[in-house]
Protein backbone atom coordinates (compact mmCIF):
# COMPACT_ATOMS: atom_id res chain seq x y z
CA UNK A 1 0.00 0.00 0.00
CA UNK A 2 1.26 3.49 -0.82
CA UNK A 3 0.31 5.84 2.01
CA UNK A 4 2.62 8.84 1.71
CA UNK A 5 4.25 10.92 -1.02
CA UNK A 6 6.89 13.65 -0.97
CA UNK A 7 8.51 15.55 -3.83
CA UNK A 8 11.26 18.10 -4.40
CA UNK A 9 11.30 18.88 -8.12
CA UNK A 10 11.97 21.51 -10.78
CA UNK A 11 8.19 22.02 -10.82
CA UNK A 12 7.85 22.67 -7.10
CA UNK A 13 9.10 21.55 -3.72
CA UNK A 14 5.88 20.08 -2.38
CA UNK A 15 3.47 17.48 -3.70
CA UNK A 16 0.56 19.74 -4.65
CA UNK A 17 2.69 22.35 -6.43
CA UNK A 18 4.41 19.58 -8.38
CA UNK A 19 1.11 17.95 -9.36
CA UNK A 20 -0.57 21.21 -10.34
CA UNK A 21 2.34 22.04 -12.65
CA UNK A 22 2.20 18.57 -14.21
CA UNK A 23 -1.47 18.59 -15.04
CA UNK A 24 -1.26 22.15 -16.35
CA UNK A 25 1.64 21.30 -18.63
CA UNK A 26 4.15 23.74 -17.18
CA UNK A 27 7.86 23.36 -17.85
CA UNK A 28 10.51 23.58 -15.14
CA UNK A 29 13.35 24.03 -17.62
CA UNK A 30 15.34 27.27 -17.83
CA UNK A 31 18.82 28.75 -18.16
CA UNK A 32 21.36 27.21 -15.78
CA UNK A 33 21.97 29.27 -12.64
CA UNK A 34 24.10 26.81 -10.62
CA UNK A 35 27.35 27.43 -12.53
CA UNK A 36 28.79 29.18 -15.59
CA UNK A 37 27.86 26.96 -18.54
CA UNK A 38 29.19 29.30 -21.23
CA UNK A 39 31.87 26.84 -22.37
CA UNK A 40 29.35 24.05 -22.87
CA UNK A 41 27.10 23.36 -25.81
CA UNK A 42 24.07 23.18 -23.50
CA UNK A 43 23.08 26.07 -21.24
CA UNK A 44 19.73 24.84 -19.91
CA UNK A 45 18.56 22.47 -17.19
CA UNK A 46 15.59 21.73 -14.94
CA UNK A 47 16.80 23.07 -11.59
CA UNK A 48 15.08 22.91 -8.22
CA UNK A 49 14.19 26.46 -7.27
CA UNK A 50 13.78 28.31 -3.96
CA UNK A 51 15.27 25.43 -1.98
CA UNK A 52 16.71 26.61 1.37
CA UNK A 53 18.34 23.63 3.09
CA UNK A 54 19.29 25.60 6.18
CA UNK A 55 15.64 26.44 6.77
CA UNK A 56 14.23 23.05 5.74
CA UNK A 57 16.80 20.80 7.43
CA UNK A 58 18.74 22.99 9.84
CA UNK A 59 22.04 24.71 9.15
CA UNK A 60 24.26 22.24 10.99
CA UNK A 61 22.78 19.10 9.44
CA UNK A 62 22.40 20.60 5.97
CA UNK A 63 26.12 21.48 5.85
CA UNK A 64 26.90 17.79 6.38
CA UNK A 65 24.84 16.64 3.37
CA UNK A 66 25.43 16.84 -0.34
CA UNK A 67 22.62 18.55 -2.24
CA UNK A 68 21.20 15.22 -3.42
CA UNK A 69 20.87 14.02 0.20
CA UNK A 70 19.27 17.31 1.19
CA UNK A 71 16.62 16.76 -1.47
CA UNK A 72 16.08 13.20 -0.22
CA UNK A 73 15.76 14.32 3.39
CA UNK A 74 13.10 16.94 2.62
CA UNK A 75 11.13 14.61 0.32
CA UNK A 76 11.21 11.81 2.91
CA UNK A 77 10.11 14.17 5.68
CA UNK A 78 7.15 15.19 3.54
CA UNK A 79 6.20 11.60 2.67
CA UNK A 80 6.36 10.46 6.30
CA UNK A 81 4.21 13.41 7.37
CA UNK A 82 1.80 12.84 4.48
CA UNK A 83 1.36 9.22 5.58
CA UNK A 84 0.72 10.21 9.18
CA UNK A 85 3.25 7.52 9.94
CA UNK A 86 3.24 6.36 13.57
CA UNK A 87 6.01 7.55 15.88
CA UNK A 88 5.85 4.31 17.88
CA UNK A 89 9.47 3.04 18.25
CA UNK A 90 8.33 -0.57 17.87
CA UNK A 91 6.83 0.25 14.45
CA UNK A 92 9.80 2.30 13.34
CA UNK A 93 12.11 -0.55 14.30
CA UNK A 94 10.40 -2.62 11.60
CA UNK A 95 10.49 0.17 8.99
CA UNK A 96 13.38 0.53 6.51
CA UNK A 97 14.72 3.01 3.99
CA UNK A 98 15.78 2.29 0.42
CA UNK A 99 16.50 5.52 -1.43
CA UNK A 100 18.27 5.34 -4.78
CA UNK A 101 20.72 7.58 -6.57
CA UNK A 102 22.45 7.11 -9.86
CA UNK A 103 25.55 9.15 -9.01
CA UNK A 104 25.46 10.28 -5.36
CA UNK A 105 27.37 13.20 -3.92
CA UNK A 106 29.09 14.44 -7.06
CA UNK A 107 28.74 18.10 -6.02
CA UNK A 108 30.80 17.33 -2.93
CA UNK A 109 33.42 15.62 -5.09
CA UNK A 110 33.64 18.53 -7.54
CA UNK A 111 33.76 21.22 -4.85
CA UNK A 112 36.42 19.40 -2.86
CA UNK A 113 38.54 18.62 -5.91
CA UNK A 114 38.40 22.24 -7.04
CA UNK A 115 39.43 23.43 -3.59
CA UNK A 116 42.40 21.14 -2.98
CA UNK A 117 43.86 20.34 -6.41
CA UNK A 118 45.67 23.66 -7.05
CA UNK A 119 47.66 23.39 -3.81
CA UNK A 120 47.68 19.65 -3.20
CA UNK A 121 46.30 20.29 0.29
CA UNK A 122 44.71 16.86 0.58
CA UNK A 123 45.26 16.90 4.32
CA UNK A 124 42.72 19.73 4.52
CA UNK A 125 39.82 17.69 3.12
CA UNK A 126 36.75 17.83 5.34
CA UNK A 127 36.09 14.84 7.60
CA UNK A 128 32.57 14.94 6.15
CA UNK A 129 33.81 14.45 2.58
CA UNK A 130 33.26 10.68 2.44
CA UNK A 131 29.96 10.66 4.40
CA UNK A 132 28.66 13.36 2.05
CA UNK A 133 29.62 11.74 -1.24
CA UNK A 134 28.37 8.24 -0.38
CA UNK A 135 25.50 6.89 -2.46
CA UNK A 136 23.95 5.51 0.72
CA UNK A 137 24.10 8.81 2.60
CA UNK A 138 20.51 9.72 1.78
CA UNK A 139 19.12 6.46 3.17
CA UNK A 140 21.35 6.66 6.22
CA UNK A 141 20.39 10.23 7.06
CA UNK A 142 16.66 9.52 6.74
CA UNK A 143 17.01 6.39 8.88
CA UNK A 144 18.81 8.29 11.63
CA UNK A 145 16.48 11.26 11.62
CA UNK A 146 13.32 9.18 11.95
CA UNK A 147 14.63 6.24 13.99
CA UNK A 148 13.96 3.70 11.24
CA UNK A 149 15.85 0.47 11.97
CA UNK A 150 14.56 -1.86 9.25
CA UNK A 151 16.49 -2.76 6.06
CA UNK A 152 18.31 0.41 5.01
CA UNK A 153 20.61 0.84 2.02
CA UNK A 154 20.80 2.41 -1.43
CA UNK A 155 20.37 1.17 -4.99
CA UNK A 156 22.39 2.44 -7.95
CA UNK A 157 21.46 1.34 -11.46
CA UNK A 158 21.76 4.67 -13.28
CA UNK A 159 18.39 5.98 -14.46
CA UNK A 160 16.60 2.79 -13.41
CA UNK A 161 17.74 3.28 -9.80
CA UNK A 162 14.50 4.53 -8.26
CA UNK A 163 12.39 1.87 -9.92
CA UNK A 164 14.79 -0.79 -8.68
CA UNK A 165 14.66 0.76 -5.19
CA UNK A 166 10.88 0.59 -5.19
CA UNK A 167 10.98 -3.01 -6.38
CA UNK A 168 13.34 -3.97 -3.55
CA UNK A 169 11.22 -2.09 -1.00
CA UNK A 170 8.16 -3.97 -2.24
CA UNK A 171 10.03 -7.27 -1.91
CA UNK A 172 11.22 -6.48 1.63
CA UNK A 173 7.61 -6.06 2.73
CA UNK A 174 6.41 -9.09 0.76
CA UNK A 175 9.13 -11.27 2.32
CA UNK A 176 8.24 -10.09 5.82
CA UNK A 177 11.51 -8.21 6.39
CA UNK A 178 9.66 -4.96 7.16
CA UNK A 179 6.15 -3.69 7.76
CA UNK A 180 6.85 -0.42 5.97
CA UNK A 181 9.53 1.17 3.79
CA UNK A 182 10.54 4.69 2.83
CA UNK A 183 11.63 4.44 -0.80
CA UNK A 184 12.31 6.52 -3.89
CA UNK A 185 15.39 8.37 -5.05
CA UNK A 186 17.34 11.62 -5.24
CA UNK A 187 19.83 13.25 -7.59
CA UNK A 188 21.66 16.57 -7.90
CA UNK A 189 23.96 16.75 -10.91
CA UNK A 190 23.44 20.22 -12.38
CA UNK A 191 27.16 20.97 -12.09
CA UNK A 192 30.02 21.43 -14.52
CA UNK A 193 31.48 17.93 -14.49
CA UNK A 194 28.18 16.09 -14.91
CA UNK A 195 26.85 18.52 -17.50
CA UNK A 196 30.19 18.44 -19.29
CA UNK A 197 30.17 14.65 -19.39
CA UNK A 198 26.69 14.43 -20.88
CA UNK A 199 27.47 17.36 -23.17
CA UNK A 200 30.51 15.59 -24.60
CA UNK A 201 28.30 12.59 -25.38
CA UNK A 202 25.93 14.89 -27.29
CA UNK A 203 23.17 13.46 -25.10
CA UNK A 204 21.68 16.80 -24.02
CA UNK A 205 19.29 19.09 -25.83
CA UNK A 206 20.92 22.32 -26.98
CA UNK A 207 17.67 24.17 -27.63
CA UNK A 208 19.06 26.98 -25.49
CA UNK A 209 16.91 29.76 -26.94
CA UNK A 210 13.70 27.88 -26.05
CA UNK A 211 14.34 26.05 -22.78
CA UNK A 212 10.67 25.35 -22.03
CA UNK A 213 10.35 23.63 -25.43
CA UNK A 214 13.60 21.65 -25.24
CA UNK A 215 12.35 18.40 -23.73
CA UNK A 216 10.05 16.84 -26.32
CA UNK A 217 9.67 13.08 -25.87
CA UNK A 218 8.43 11.14 -28.91
CA UNK A 219 8.35 14.30 -31.04
CA UNK A 220 10.04 13.92 -34.42
CA UNK A 221 12.37 16.84 -33.67
CA UNK A 222 13.64 15.59 -30.30
CA UNK A 223 17.43 15.87 -30.06
CA UNK A 224 18.47 15.13 -26.50
CA UNK A 225 17.37 15.14 -22.88
CA UNK A 226 17.27 18.01 -20.41
CA UNK A 227 19.10 17.31 -17.17
CA UNK A 228 17.01 17.74 -14.03
CA UNK A 229 17.48 17.39 -10.28
CA UNK A 230 15.34 16.63 -7.25
CA UNK A 231 13.89 13.78 -5.21
CA UNK A 232 10.77 11.71 -4.73
CA UNK A 233 9.84 9.63 -1.69
CA UNK A 234 7.03 7.14 -1.22
CA UNK A 235 5.84 5.25 1.86
CA UNK A 236 5.09 1.59 1.20
CA UNK A 237 3.20 -0.31 3.90
CA UNK A 238 2.16 -3.91 4.37
CA UNK A 239 -1.53 -4.22 3.57
CA UNK A 240 -2.88 -5.33 6.96
CA UNK A 241 -0.70 -2.86 8.82
CA UNK A 242 -1.90 0.06 6.68
CA UNK A 243 -5.56 -0.97 6.90
CA UNK A 244 -5.27 -1.65 10.62
CA UNK A 245 -4.06 1.83 11.40
CA UNK A 246 -6.63 3.44 9.10
CA UNK A 247 -4.07 4.92 6.72
CA UNK A 248 -5.15 6.94 3.69
CA UNK A 249 -4.14 4.82 0.69
CA UNK A 250 -3.18 6.40 -2.63
CA UNK A 251 -2.70 3.17 -4.57
CA UNK A 252 -1.16 -0.29 -4.35
CA UNK A 253 2.04 -1.77 -5.75
CA UNK A 254 1.03 -4.76 -7.85
CA UNK A 255 4.38 -5.96 -9.14
CA UNK A 256 7.53 -5.13 -11.05
CA UNK A 257 9.71 -6.34 -13.92
CA UNK A 258 13.47 -6.04 -14.31
CA UNK A 259 15.89 -6.99 -17.09
CA UNK A 260 19.19 -6.16 -18.75
CA UNK A 261 19.84 -5.23 -22.37
CA UNK A 262 23.23 -7.01 -22.39
CA UNK A 263 24.01 -4.78 -25.37
CA UNK A 264 25.86 -1.47 -24.79
CA UNK A 265 26.94 0.63 -21.81
CA UNK A 266 25.16 3.79 -23.00
CA UNK A 267 22.92 2.98 -25.97
CA UNK A 268 19.59 1.13 -25.99
CA UNK A 269 19.26 -2.16 -27.81
CA UNK A 270 17.79 -1.17 -31.19
CA UNK A 271 15.62 -4.30 -31.08
CA UNK A 272 14.30 -3.31 -27.62
CA UNK A 273 14.64 -6.86 -26.33
CA UNK A 274 15.58 -5.90 -22.76
CA UNK A 275 12.92 -3.22 -22.47
CA UNK A 276 10.27 -5.61 -23.79
CA UNK A 277 11.38 -8.22 -21.24
CA UNK A 278 10.97 -5.72 -18.39
CA UNK A 279 7.40 -4.90 -19.47
CA UNK A 280 6.57 -8.58 -19.93
CA UNK A 281 7.97 -9.52 -16.53
CA UNK A 282 6.09 -6.64 -14.89
CA UNK A 283 2.81 -7.94 -16.33
CA UNK A 284 3.64 -11.44 -15.15
CA UNK A 285 4.58 -10.26 -11.65
CA UNK A 286 1.33 -8.28 -11.34
CA UNK A 287 -0.69 -11.13 -12.88
CA UNK A 288 -2.16 -8.84 -15.50
CA UNK A 289 -3.10 -9.14 -19.13
CA UNK A 290 -1.76 -6.41 -21.42
CA UNK A 291 -5.27 -5.10 -22.05
CA UNK A 292 -5.75 -4.36 -18.34
CA UNK A 293 -3.17 -1.56 -18.30
CA UNK A 294 -4.60 1.94 -18.68
CA UNK A 295 -1.52 4.15 -18.56
CA UNK A 296 2.25 4.02 -18.91
CA UNK A 297 4.40 6.82 -17.55
CA UNK A 298 7.20 6.28 -20.04
CA UNK A 299 10.90 6.63 -19.34
CA UNK A 300 11.11 8.53 -22.66
CA UNK A 301 13.86 11.10 -22.18
CA UNK A 302 13.56 12.95 -25.52
CA UNK A 303 16.46 11.15 -27.19
CA UNK A 304 16.08 9.83 -30.74
CA UNK A 305 17.09 6.23 -30.00
CA UNK A 306 15.69 5.81 -26.48
CA UNK A 307 12.16 7.02 -27.18
CA UNK A 308 11.93 4.89 -30.31
CA UNK A 309 13.14 1.76 -28.49
CA UNK A 310 10.58 2.19 -25.74
CA UNK A 311 7.71 2.93 -28.08
CA UNK A 312 8.50 -0.13 -30.17
CA UNK A 313 8.81 -2.31 -27.07
CA UNK A 314 5.35 -1.21 -25.91
CA UNK A 315 3.93 -2.11 -29.32
CA UNK A 316 5.57 -5.52 -29.17
CA UNK A 317 4.42 -6.38 -25.66
CA UNK A 318 0.94 -4.85 -25.67
CA UNK A 319 -0.06 -5.67 -29.25
CA UNK A 320 -3.23 -3.95 -30.43
CA UNK A 321 -3.84 -2.61 -26.92
CA UNK A 322 -0.69 -0.49 -27.31
CA UNK A 323 -2.73 1.84 -29.52
CA UNK A 324 -5.50 2.14 -26.93
CA UNK A 325 -3.60 2.73 -23.68
CA UNK A 326 -2.28 6.19 -22.80
CA UNK A 327 1.49 6.77 -22.77
CA UNK A 328 3.02 10.02 -21.58
CA UNK A 329 6.42 11.32 -20.48
CA UNK A 330 6.44 13.84 -17.66
CA UNK A 331 10.14 14.41 -18.40
CA UNK A 332 8.82 16.86 -20.97
CA UNK A 333 8.15 19.12 -17.97
CA UNK A 334 10.59 18.21 -15.17
CA UNK A 335 13.50 16.99 -17.25
CA UNK A 336 15.50 13.85 -16.60
CA UNK A 337 16.28 13.39 -12.91
CA UNK A 338 18.55 10.38 -13.53
CA UNK A 339 18.49 8.22 -10.38
CA UNK A 340 15.51 10.17 -9.03
CA UNK A 341 13.47 9.93 -12.23
CA UNK A 342 11.58 6.76 -11.34
CA UNK A 343 10.58 8.09 -7.93
CA UNK A 344 9.16 11.34 -9.26
CA UNK A 345 7.48 9.57 -12.17
CA UNK A 346 6.17 6.88 -9.82
CA UNK A 347 4.50 9.62 -7.80
CA UNK A 348 2.98 11.03 -11.00
CA UNK A 349 1.67 7.55 -11.86
CA UNK A 350 0.19 7.02 -8.41
CA UNK A 351 -1.56 10.39 -8.54
CA UNK A 352 -2.86 9.64 -12.03
CA UNK A 353 -4.60 6.63 -10.50
CA UNK A 354 -5.70 8.41 -7.35
CA UNK A 355 -7.01 11.55 -9.04
CA UNK A 356 -8.09 10.17 -12.43
CA UNK A 357 -5.95 12.58 -14.44
CA UNK A 358 -3.12 11.60 -16.81
CA UNK A 359 -0.35 14.21 -17.13
CA UNK A 360 0.49 15.15 -20.72
CA UNK A 361 3.58 14.96 -22.86
CA UNK A 362 4.16 18.63 -23.61
CA UNK A 363 6.06 19.97 -26.64
CA UNK A 364 4.61 17.22 -28.80
CA UNK A 365 4.30 19.13 -32.08
CA UNK A 366 5.49 16.96 -34.96
CA UNK A 367 4.56 13.26 -34.86
CA UNK A 368 7.34 10.79 -35.52
CA UNK A 369 6.01 8.18 -37.98
CA UNK A 370 8.02 5.52 -36.14
CA UNK A 371 6.53 6.41 -32.73
CA UNK A 372 2.89 5.55 -33.25
CA UNK A 373 1.19 5.52 -29.84
CA UNK A 374 -1.13 7.83 -27.92
CA UNK A 375 1.29 10.12 -26.06
CA UNK A 376 -1.40 12.30 -24.41
CA UNK A 377 -0.13 15.31 -26.33
CA UNK A 378 0.11 18.69 -24.59
CA UNK A 379 -3.09 18.55 -22.50
CA UNK A 380 -3.82 16.46 -19.42
CA UNK A 381 -6.57 13.89 -19.78
CA UNK A 382 -9.32 13.24 -17.25
CA UNK A 383 -9.97 9.51 -17.36
CA UNK A 384 -10.32 6.64 -14.92
CA UNK A 385 -6.98 4.89 -14.37
CA UNK A 386 -7.09 1.52 -12.62
CA UNK A 387 -3.65 0.23 -13.60
CA UNK A 388 -0.53 2.27 -14.37
CA UNK A 389 3.04 1.33 -15.16
CA UNK A 390 6.13 3.47 -14.69
CA UNK A 391 9.25 2.53 -16.63
CA UNK A 392 12.91 3.34 -16.03
CA UNK A 393 15.93 2.45 -18.16
CA UNK A 394 19.54 3.27 -17.37
CA UNK A 395 23.06 3.33 -18.76
CA UNK A 396 24.48 -0.15 -18.40
CA UNK A 397 21.34 -1.60 -19.96
CA UNK A 398 19.33 -1.65 -16.72
CA UNK A 399 15.55 -1.84 -17.15
CA UNK A 400 12.90 -1.69 -14.43
CA UNK A 401 9.12 -1.29 -14.61
CA UNK A 402 6.82 -0.81 -11.59
CA UNK A 403 3.09 -1.59 -11.68
CA UNK A 404 0.60 0.41 -9.59
CA UNK A 405 -3.08 -0.26 -9.11
CA UNK A 406 -6.13 1.46 -7.68
CA UNK A 407 -6.94 0.49 -4.11
CA UNK A 408 -10.39 -0.99 -3.78
CA UNK A 409 -11.64 0.47 -0.50
Q: Which DSSP string corresponds to 122-159? A: GGG--TTHHHHH-TTHHHHHHHHHHT--SSEE---BTB
Residue in 219, 194, 187, 204 with CA at minimum distance from that of residue 43: 204
Q: State the fold for domain 2-244.
A: Peroxisomal Thiolase; Chain A, domain 1 (3.40.47)
336 among known catalytic residues: yes
Q: What's the pLDDT band for 97 if we cut at 50, 70, 90?
A: very high
Q: Is the pLDDT of residue 409 over 80?
A: no
pLDDT of residue 120: 86
159 among known catalytic residues: yes
Domain edges within the chain: 2-244, 253-405
pLDDT of residue 408: 82
pLDDT of residue 35: 96
Rounded average pLDDT over 119-147: 95
Which position among 43, 146, 159, 371 bears the catalytic label?
A: 159
Which position among 43, 299, 398, 407 bears the catalytic label?
A: 299
Task: Return all residues near 207 (Cβ < 8 A) that are at least 6 apart.
Answer: 44, 213, 214, 223
Which residues in 148-184 are b (16+ Cβ under 10 Å) and which e?
Answer: bbbbbbbbbbbbbbbbbbbbbbbebbeeeebbbbbbb
Q: What's the pLDDT tens digit per position in 232-274? A: 999 999 999 999 999 999 999 999 999 999 999 999 998 999 9
CA distance 314 to 295: 11
Q: Is the pLDDT of residue 119 over 90?
A: no
Q: What is the CATH number of domain 253-405?
A: 3.40.47.10
Q: What's the pLDDT tens digit per position in 304-334? A: 999 999 999 999 999 999 999 999 999 999 9
**Proportion of the chain above pLDDT 70, given as a percent:** 100
pTM for the model stands at 0.97
Rounded average pLDDT over 339-348: 98
299 among known catalytic residues: yes
The answer to whether domain 2-244 and domain 253-405 are alike in fold is: yes
Which position among 43, 146, 334, 336 bears the catalytic label?
A: 336
Amino acid sequence: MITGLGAVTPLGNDLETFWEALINGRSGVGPITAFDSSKLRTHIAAEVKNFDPDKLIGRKEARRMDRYAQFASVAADAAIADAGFPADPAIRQETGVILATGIGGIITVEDTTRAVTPTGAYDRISPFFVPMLMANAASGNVSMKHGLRGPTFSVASACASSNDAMAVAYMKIAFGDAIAMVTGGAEATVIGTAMGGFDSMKALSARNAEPARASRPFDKNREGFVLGEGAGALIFEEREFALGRGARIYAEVLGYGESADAYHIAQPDPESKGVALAFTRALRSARLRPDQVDYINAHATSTPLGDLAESQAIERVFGEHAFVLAVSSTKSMHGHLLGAAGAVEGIASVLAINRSIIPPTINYETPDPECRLDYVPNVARRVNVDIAMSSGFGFGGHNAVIVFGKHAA
